[in-house]
Amino acid sequence: MNKEYVQPPRGVRDIIGIDAEIHEYLVEEFREVARLNGYKPVIPPTIEYSKLFEAKSGPEIKRSMYVFEDKAGRLLALRPEVTASIVRIYLRKLRGEPKPIRLYYVAQCFRYEEPQFARYREFWQAGLEIIGDQSVNSDLAVAYTASYYLDRIGIRHKYVVGNVAFYRVFMDNAKVPNEIQDEILHIIDKGETDKALAKLRRIVSSNFLDIIGSLLNTSLNDIEELILDSRGMLGEDSIKKLLNEYRRTLVFIDSLRELGYTVEYNPMLVRGLAYYTGLIYEYKSDKLKQSIGGGGRYDGLTSIYGGPYEYSTGLALGIDRIALALTEDKTIGINSTREVLVIIRNAPLVNGYNLLRRLNKLGIPAWVIETNSIKKALRLANKRNVAVAVIIGSREAKQGTVTVKNMESGEQRVVGEDEAPDLIKHIISKGPLSEPS
């Protein structure tokens, strides 16, 4: 075999078999839960102008984008994430809609990174976005929906919460340029706080440096005091904003706890995307070291793209990682359909398809095979774990009958074509496999 043809490109996958069924199950459940929570679908293009993402995705993502020229020399990119597209679409088409605007998407994203466990160059994101609402309720709204979804598919999860506004307000006051803020937050995100502080030392005065250093080590309870202690360094507006961010974080955490979730505040949580402006969080599951999703506030990303300032918040869940985090007992039920195989031998194919149509209308999964050996076809039926085989040979075709065979018990019966669908339905619904585990 020609190996260069059969391999997919490095870092991307062929999703087949039970993995493909799990993927579809996870996506369909997500869509259903999103709709159940009043979100509307958006399907953004897979390719965008690369500058859309360069504007505010952050250095890591910029480095790992698939960028290429189209034949007219325009720089395009395979999307590394979806929020930038959603904001673009909002500005282009949805500005006149009543706010808040609640949107969901399921889309594959692309990052050119070293492949490793649970990290692929093409991966699937399921996301929620709310545009046009300042209230922490919107943060809670998307988090509630994500948790409801994760609960429904049986993923035990906890929240890790942070707030980048604490750092941004102090750095704004110390006149640290935005791009350097992004860079420093990115270094903090990698856990290299010493390096981040060393970099800041060259730019800001020691009292700013001290307070940022303290923020990195302060529990949420003590942040209010730390903010109030900064009254000398900051204007009243900044203090107000910080207290406001503190309170939002508290309400977010307390509400989730009251809803029964485990929530942990981590001052060093920053996340990879440079557009976050305030409250942020990640989802952790018991089964996986990596986070299975995350989100946060990205107020004003609309104005980075030249539009009016809008409050906005959202999150994305990693479908591939959730698939890895699914417990085994959850995946067993997914592929337990009870199929019917209609076997045609020396008879008109259309007899098979007329029966198939009637079975399909009853919701019974079925398909037709033409064979010159009933025995061979029954062997296939066994291998595919078929529940009922229906045999239409030349004799049956002449008589207007079919032979219905219960593949489990082995018993079979010749019945009129018209009686077959009900009999088959009866066999299928009585079988022990019909109760999904």
User: Which residues ranging from 2 to 31 are in contact with a copy of itself (CB under 8 A)?
Assistant: 2, 4-10, 12-17, 20-21, 23-24, 28, 31
Task: Name residues contacting a copy of itself, limited to 270-309 (CB under 8 A).
Answer: 305-307
Determine which residue in the list 114, 236, 258, 435 makes contact with a copy of itself, applying CB under 8 A.
Answer: 258
Residue 47 binds to a copy of itself (criterion: CB under 8 A): yes
Chain positions 360 to 389 lying near a copy of itself, rule: CB under 8 A, are: 360, 363-370, 380, 383-384
Number of residues that bind a copy of itself (CB under 8 A): 102
Q: Does 76 bind a copy of itself (CB under 8 A)?
A: yes
Q: What is the smallest separation between the CB atom of 386 and a copy of itself, expressed in angstroms?
A: 9
392 forms part of the interface with a copy of itself (CB under 8 A): no
Burial 68-78 (b: 16+ CB within 10 A, else e): eeeeeeeebbb
Output the smallest distance, CB 114 to a copy of itself, in A: 11
Amino acid identity of 193? T
Q: What would the x/- binding string for a copy of itself be over residues 147 to 186, using CB under 8 A?
A: -x--------------------------------------
Question: Which ranges of 113-235 would DSSP assign to H, the alpha helix?
Answer: 136-152, 165-173, 178-189, 193-201, 206-215, 220-229
Contact flag: residue 92 with a copy of itself (CB under 8 A): yes
Question: What is the Cα–Cα distance from 350 to 353, expressed in whole angstroms?
Answer: 5
Does residue 141 touch a copy of itself according to CB under 8 A?
A: yes
Looking at residue 9, what DSSP letter applies?
P
- How many whole angstroms separate alpha carbon 329 and alpha carbon 340? 25
Nearer to a copy of itself, 177 or 348 (CB): 348
Secondary structure of residue 160 in the 3-state scheme: strand
Contacts of 208-215 spanning 24+ positions with Cβ under 8 A: 208/170, 208/171, 208/173, 208/174, 208/233, 211/170, 212/167, 212/170, 212/171, 215/166, 215/167, 215/170, 215/267
Signed CA dihedral, 53, 55, 61, 63: sign only: positive
Interface residue with a copy of itself, options 357, 373, 400, 419 (CB under 8 A): 357
DSSP 334: G
Residue numbers 119-138 binding a copy of itself by CB under 8 A: 122, 133, 135-137
How do beta strands 401-406 and 388-392 pair? antiparallel
Q: Which of 26, 30, 61, 78 binds a copy of itself (CB under 8 A)?
A: 78
Instruction: Examine residue 52 and tell whether it contacts a copy of itself (CB under 8 A).
Output: yes
Q: How far is the CB of 416 from a copy of itself (least distance, A)?
A: 19
- Which lies closer to a copy of itself via its Cβ, residue 24 or residue 222? 24
